[in-house]
Structure 1
């Protein structure tokens, strides 16, 4: 018989809190317990309860996580580097964190700056492959990180914060509304290298969904399920898009029919342009200014709406006033005749009446006609 653990399991929310406090993902905790990530998710949501040896191992691990200890930095990098396109030109986050004293935890600003330094350079190059515009690539990455800073409590505990920012940057870069902006109506100067220029033209000729799938799979190096999840498509649909994109590239550039060669050429094309991202404090400052602007705009709109409502309530009638019905023709009543011109006799009589006294006993004395 399997013995029960010495201490009972904490509530599901506490299990998740302990895991996140230890900077462990669900997959990492599942590897330590010997189960799948979906099982850990079910345990933390309360849909399932561990039994037997799994219960003992899970309870012991949670007890170790709950025990006070000197904080240590997880050796798992926050962003997987799978290719030269996705590999940033900065030190990994774990190396940046190790340089800090072990006793002082990272502040939100420091954690954001580390994530930005690790991901932003590679994301700018990826966005350039999607758009073919240098300024739009930098703007897309900056806007994505501004959104991440505004929602940092959510991004900080996300299992893949780099994927969160990448998806936001890709969505902004591929937005169809950029074509209506005056600054992006005209094409940018072409690349100097003819082969790079031909490859970029082929990429930009692909539909946005095909282009995004090709960059994620052959450029960044994600697996097919991860690519399908990030493009919000099913795995067969993502595979179909990838095959059609490769066929289009191979048709126009036969030398890139090999996926390995295509991967290398995408990396070279992304690194051909020297694209620099803004500094992290500038991005955080822009995010805070944007948040303040929209907050003030929302307050002003709310105040205007309240004022208009109060004015309407103050000037509105307090009782119902029925509208005046249109006139109806009534039969049987003779119409009123309008007075016509006076005759000579009537004019003489009117003149006589106006010349005589209007009051007094004289009016009572009859006169001979």
Structure 2
């Protein structure tokens, strides 16, 4: 059975633009599609993609919104814009003013302000700040010319990185402390994550959620199983001073790493369930199951934290009570650059060593095969070799007897009857 191609969808940015152009909130759009508001938020951020019937319904609704927007634009283009009515400028000649209707009272003059310019057809209006005011117009009715504001200069990559670090680094250090229970490890994890972000800054700068990118990297480094083999991990750090904070931190550290990370993201950071599932690389039902198991474990040890609101407040208090500072952005950037230079030089040195070893091997390796010589073995049962010398009488007699016989052998024996 073959499956047909999926219904095409516009880009996440275009989805959000169509919803905002139709004056719909994410909750209203979610009700029309039949999903949760967090799901619409994940679709518009590009973290998840709709599938199946929800994808078809979402694509159909977006197509309808796009058609409505196009029809409204065409109707606005066909409707001519009426020109503003001309207005007589005040002059000193009373005869030029229009005659007043009989019985009508003179109306007070309006407050001085900008006057509309009458035009025969729609066309770009000249900027009033460039044209001088007419001589017939009183000085009091002239509008003050506003000074043009200079456009803000674009930030350099270093300035953008520093702004992102100063905005999110302190909170990320406190969140990572809830995962590890170690102050220095939390600080180092966040710095390593930002150094990795600085190395891949073009990718991170274009990401829809750079803080989420750095947070995911810091959590992965902090919860790495290789951390337990470091010498620093063998020496425990002093626990929090408050007994309640110590109990809550010990309860968090007893949770499995995946459950602990899900609990911190949902109840600590405040992400919704689809975003938590996307950051932990799990499905939404799996993330919900981990969250429920983590809450049950915390409530079983601390019954007062069974309410999610109370748990959120206590997690925020636990993270805020610790004095967790972060290094300055230039220090982090320089540290990342030094680490990148060290890795580059190490890779170059290893490559040079590998090339040298290969060249030496090619130079000294034999060009033909030489079979190995088998080791000698002692042979037993062979009489020792006798050195040549004078023959004995028996040997002389035997030699003479052999010489006297015929060379062709003895004569043929013929059988005889007896």
* TM-score, length-scaled by structure 2: 0.58
Match of 1:31?
16
- Once residues 219 and 40 of structure 1 are traced to their aligned partners in structure 2, the CA distance between those partners, rounded to angstroms, is 21
Shift in CA distance, 254/51, structure 1 to aligned 2, threshold 3 Å:
closer
Give yes or no for contact 1:216–1:222 (8 Å, CA) kept in 2: yes
- Once residues 192 and 110 of structure 1 are traced to their aligned partners in structure 2, the CA distance between those partners, rounded to angstroms, is 38
Match of 1:176?
225
Give yes or no for contact 2:12–2:44 (8 Å, CA) kept in 1: no
Deviation sequence 1:74-107 (CA, Å, 0-9, x none): xxxxxxxxxxxxxxxxxxxxxxxxxx97342111
- Once residues 126 and 231 of structure 1 are traced to their aligned partners in structure 2, the CA distance between those partners, rounded to angstroms, is 15
Cα deviation for residue 53 of structure 1 reads 8.0
Match of 1:141?
190
Q: 5 Å matches for 1:260-271? A: 260-271=309-320
Secondary structure of residue in 2 paired with 1:299:
helix
- Once residues 183 and 333 of structure 2 are traced to their aligned partners in structure 1, the CA distance between those partners, rounded to angstroms, is 21
- Once residues 190 and 297 of structure 2 are traced to their aligned partners in structure 1, the CA distance between those partners, rounded to angstroms, is 28
- Once residues 109 and 256 of structure 1 are traced to their aligned partners in structure 2, the CA distance between those partners, rounded to angstroms, is 42
Shift in CA distance, 52/197, structure 1 to aligned 2, threshold 3 Å:
closer
Q: 5 Å matches for 1:175-214? A: 175-214=224-263
Deviation sequence 1:173-199 (CA, Å, 0-9, x none): 111222221222122112111111111
- Once residues 244 and 223 of structure 1 are traced to their aligned partners in structure 2, the CA distance between those partners, rounded to angstroms, is 17
Give yes or no for contact 2:267–2:312 (8 Å, CA) kept in 1: yes
Match of 1:304?
353
- Once residues 165 and 253 of structure 1 are traced to their aligned partners in structure 2, the CA distance between those partners, rounded to angstroms, is 31
Shift in CA distance, 338/275, structure 1 to aligned 2, threshold 3 Å:
farther
Shift in CA distance, 339/303, structure 1 to aligned 2, threshold 3 Å:
farther
Match of 1:245?
294
Task: Find the partner of 1:317 among 357, 361, 366.
Answer: 366
Q: 5 Å matches for 1:218-367? A: 218-324=267-373, 337=385
Structure 1 portions without partners, runs of 5+: 1-15, 17-25, 43-47, 62-99, 344-369
Shift in CA distance, 56/226, structure 1 to aligned 2, threshold 3 Å:
same
Deviation sequence 1:304-353 (CA, Å, 0-9, x none): 000000000111122233333567999xxx7772769x99xxxxxxxxxx
Match of 2:200?
151
Shift in CA distance, 231/300, structure 1 to aligned 2, threshold 3 Å:
same
Higher helix share: 1
4+ residue runs over 6 A deviation: 35-42, 50-53, 55-58, 326-330
Give yes or no for contact 1:30–1:40 (8 Å, CA) kept in 2: no
- Once residues 138 and 303 of structure 1 are traced to their aligned partners in structure 2, the CA distance between those partners, rounded to angstroms, is 36
* TM-score, length-scaled by structure 1: 0.66
Give yes or no for contact 2:13–2:44 (8 Å, CA) kept in 1: no
Q: 5 Å matches for 1:101-140? A: 102-140=151-189
- Once residues 138 and 51 of structure 1 are traced to their aligned partners in structure 2, the CA distance between those partners, rounded to angstroms, is 48
- Once residues 244 and 329 of structure 1 are traced to their aligned partners in structure 2, the CA distance between those partners, rounded to angstroms, is 77
Shift in CA distance, 129/339, structure 1 to aligned 2, threshold 3 Å:
farther
Give the aligned length: 271
Give yes or no for contact 1:140–1:170 (8 Å, CA) kept in 2: yes
Structure 2 portions without partners, runs of 5+: 1-9, 21-39, 50-58, 74-148, 391-418
Secondary structure of residue in 1 paired with 2:184:
helix
- Once residues 217 and 345 of structure 2 are traced to their aligned partners in structure 1, the CA distance between those partners, rounded to angstroms, is 24
- Once residues 267 and 230 of structure 2 are traced to their aligned partners in structure 1, the CA distance between those partners, rounded to angstroms, is 30
- Once residues 302 and 281 of structure 1 are traced to their aligned partners in structure 2, the CA distance between those partners, rounded to angstroms, is 31
